Amino acid sequence: MVTTTILLSAPNGMHARPAGELVKLAKSLDGKVTLATAAKSVSAASMLGILSLGLKSGAEITVSAEGGSEEANLAAVVDFIAAITE
């Protein structure tokens, strides 16, 4: 398993639209990716899970990838989150 921690820079936090896109991305990967905050950890393939983290702009997210091409999967999700601008 590989893990990294990032800050959410998206000005409006993680709302439904980017979360939906993220779920699509996570489902296309060959391994499991999870997002976690201090409070809990959820699958990146779960729209309800991601939104239930209540991620506001500036939130700290720990991203982990397990199984498949872990490094690539982790990078894909981290890059996606960093690129959310709306």
| Residues classed as catalytic | 15
Q: Which DSSP string do the residues of 33-80 spell out, in sequence order? A: EEEE-SS-EEETT-HHHHHHT---TT-EEEEEEESSSHHHHHHHHHHH
**Contact with other proteins (CB under 8 A): which of 2, 6, 51, 59?**
51
Please count the residues of the chain: 86
Q: Shortest Cβ distance from residue 17 to other proteins (Å)?
A: 7
Among 22, 25, 29, 45, binds other proteins (CB under 8 A): 45
Residues within the interface to other proteins (CB under 8 A): 12, 15-17, 42-43, 45-49, 51-52, 54, 86
